[in-house]
Homo-oligomer: A and B are copies of this chain.
Amino acid sequence: MSDVEWSQVEKEVAQEAFERAYEREINALITEVRERASTITELDDTWLLHDFLSARRHQLDGKYDYKYSVLIFVFAQLVKEGWLHLKELEGLEKDKLTKIAALTRM
């Protein structure tokens, strides 16, 4: 699915939904890091936090890829993980919404 298959309105809906999900996930991450760090009492906990951050950084880098060719899959993953609600994607054409909904059930 290329750039041209997204109308201007759809692009605006997509951009906003994408940013909203990103903000939510980032805020949850920050909260979790602060909580985890506050319970550190020994070196192993410190390296567990380091491993956690390494994994999350890698995941986030890969996941938030705003390309129209993969956006359907990105949105399906975000809905599945709870960072986005399907209704926040209203404004996209029906075909895209159906695909996203179907993917979230896989």
Contact = CB atoms under 8 A, between A and B. Distances in A.
Contacts of A50: 50, 53-54, 57
Query: Which secondary structure characterizes the binding site on chain A?
Result: helix
Contacts of A8: none
A49 B33 contact: yes
Contacts of A47: 53, 57
Interface residues of A, number: 20
Interface in A31-76: 33-34, 36-38, 40-43, 45-47, 49-50, 53-54, 57
Interface in A85-105: none
Contacts of A29: 43, 46
Interface of A: 26, 29-30, 33-34, 36-38, 40-43, 45-47, 49-50, 53-54, 57
4 nearest A-B residue pairs (beta carbon): A37-B37, A50-B53, A26-B43, A34-B37
